Amino acid sequence: MIVDDILDFAKIDSGNLILEKAPFKLKEALDGIQSSIGFLAYQKNLLFEMKIAHDVPIYLLGDKLRLEQVLLNLTSNAVKFTHKGKVELSVSVRSSTAKSVLLEFIVSDTGIGLTKKQTQGLFNAFTQVDTSTTRKYGGTGLGLAICKQMTELMGGRVWINSEIEVGSNFHFTAKFGKTDSSKVTKSSETTPPLSTDQLYRLKGSRILVVEDNEFNQMIIQDILKRKGVVVFMSENGAEALKVLAEERFDIVLMDLQMPIMDGFEATRQIRATPELADLCVIAMTANAMAADREQCLAAGMNDFETKPIDTERLFRTLIKWLPEREQAPPIDLSVLSNLVAHDPEKIAKFTHKYLQTSRASLAEMQSAEASGDMELLASLCHKQKSSAASVGALSSTELYRALEKASKADDKPAAKALLKELVPLIDEISLFLGEGSDHA
């Protein structure tokens, strides 16, 4: 968002932006970039890769949010100006002492590239390569000026190597303090990882996202839809008020600086409307200073989220403000996660396989029940009962156990009734895992 960029630039230029110095895990910052930029690259059929040198420290002392802002700006630009091939982010150690480390980040792409003349002054405020580029790709060039100032605040610098029609390599260095896992772990002990039950509360919730930046719209929509959230989008406050007059929402995620009507005025009007007065409004902004938070709360907003989006922090905030729901998730992924050493690829693989076998077995069970073959039905239930328990589908496990018992007792009416309960349960697991339903 251009206005957010201007505000950040003004704060840096006036010396009012002070970087945080807190312990953080580098991988967590990079995972956020992987999630956001990986999705954008996928949309353009591009490959997005990350390479981290083996000697890069796992734990650092510095400003994680501002590092993410620089990385997000450079990687999103790389995707924007690349039409085929790949974008790569690499991290290596430039120099190291007992107490600090200077890291070098390189964002490489196979995009349109720049001539030597075009790279001159690229990191100056409001500089664009040329007017045709501005018309075609948008932007003001101010983001790169902020990257330059941010990296200098972090004790580093930024530069570019580029060749027209070959691609560009954006380099920047940043200095961080060294720390250890105990410092990071200590700060995270008070906020344990979100459980499957907690995340399931997001499913089916209705959230209005008020955001005029197309890139941010795509990112947040993808993040929320993956958790089963029903997402509506508005590009400014005035448009949001029209939507709110016609639709019901659990939460509004409100950008602050937008054309036509900004987030502050939109929130004030929401609070002045009796039927919307209690609606939860959460601010979204790139500015993370205490004065910004106070201004949001003064306008009537309930909470505050900074950009770039920290996925887990956003989920925690949303769950905090969502109304309580008693429904438990149909599958507890922590069970399978423990079995496969928390490997996300294996979790995805085995849950997908479980759904395939569940659907195939359901068809076989229905056929066995229809033909009166209770022995086969019991055998199929016994097999699926074990699979369900392994992946954490506890409700299914109990249902298979009851169905197996009824089949062995030749209780055909009970078996028929229990079998009918399996159909919506398998559909619910499918929806929970984001794979859709066969009976929608």
Give per-residue pLDDT as tens, 269-318.
999 999 999 999 999 876 655 566 778 888 899 998 877 777 888 999 99
Q: Which of 105-109, 129-133, 191-195, 408-412 has the lowest mean pLDDT?
A: 129-133
Give me the mean pLDDT over the 29-36 stretch.
83
Give pLDDT, residue 203: 78
Q: Which of 9-18, 116-125, 285-294, 374-383 has the lowest mean pLDDT?
A: 9-18
Positive or negative torsion for Cα 144, 149, 150, 156: positive
- Under DSSP, is residue 115 helix (H, G, I), strand (E, B) or coil? coil
Give pLDDT, residue 224: 87
With residue 296 as reference, give the H or E element that holds it. Answer: helix 290-298
**Residue % of the chain over a pLDDT of 70:** 85
Please state, rounded to an integer, the average pLDDT across all residues of the chain. 83
> CATH class for domain 333-432?
mainly alpha
Topology match between the domains 2-188 and 333-432? no
> Is a pLDDT exceeding 90 seen at residue 96?
yes
> Is a pLDDT exceeding 60 seen at residue 54?
yes
Give pLDDT, residue 280: 95
Cross-strand pairs, 2 = none
- Label residue 16 by pLDDT band (50, 70, 90): low
| Per-residue tokens: 274 | 């009796």
The per-residue b/e assignment along 34-69, b for 16 or more CB within 10 angstroms, e otherwise, is bebbbbbbeeeebebebeeeeebbebbbbbbbbbbb
- Label residue 1 by pLDDT band (50, 70, 90): very low
Give pLDDT, residue 131: 44
> Is a pLDDT exceeding 80 seen at residue 364?
yes
Separation of alpha carbons 128 and 140, rounded Å:
6
| Fold observed for domain 196-321 | Rossmann fold (3.40.50)
User: What secondary structure letter does DSSP report for 195?
Assistant: P
CATH superfamily name and code, 2-188: Histidine kinase-like ATPase, C-terminal domain (3.30.565.10)
Break the chain into its structural domains and give their ranges.
2-188, 196-321, 333-432
Give pLDDT, residue 135: 36
SS (H, E, C) 230-276: EEEEECCHHHHHHHHHHCCCCEEEEECCCCCCCHHHHHHHHHCCHHH
Give me the mean pLDDT over the 106-116 stretch.
92
Estimate the share of the chain in helix, then strand, then coil, as percent rounded to the nearest 5.
50, 20, 30
- Label residue 14 by pLDDT band (50, 70, 90): very low
Give pLDDT, residue 192: 67
Please report, in angstroms and rounded to a whole number, the separation of the first and last CA atoms in the chain: 38
Give me the mean pLDDT over the 2-7 stretch.
38
**Residue % of the chain over a pLDDT of 90:** 40
Please, which residues have CB within 8 angstroms of residue 410's CB and are 6 or more apart in sequence? 374
Q: Could you tell me the CA-to-CA distances from 72 to 40, 76, 171 in Å, in that order?
A: 11, 6, 14
The more confidently predicted of residues 87 and 190 is 87
pTM: predicted TM-score of the whole model, two decimal places: 0.54
Separation of alpha carbons 201 and 336, rounded Å:
20
With residue 60 as reference, give the H or E element that holds it. Answer: strand 59-62
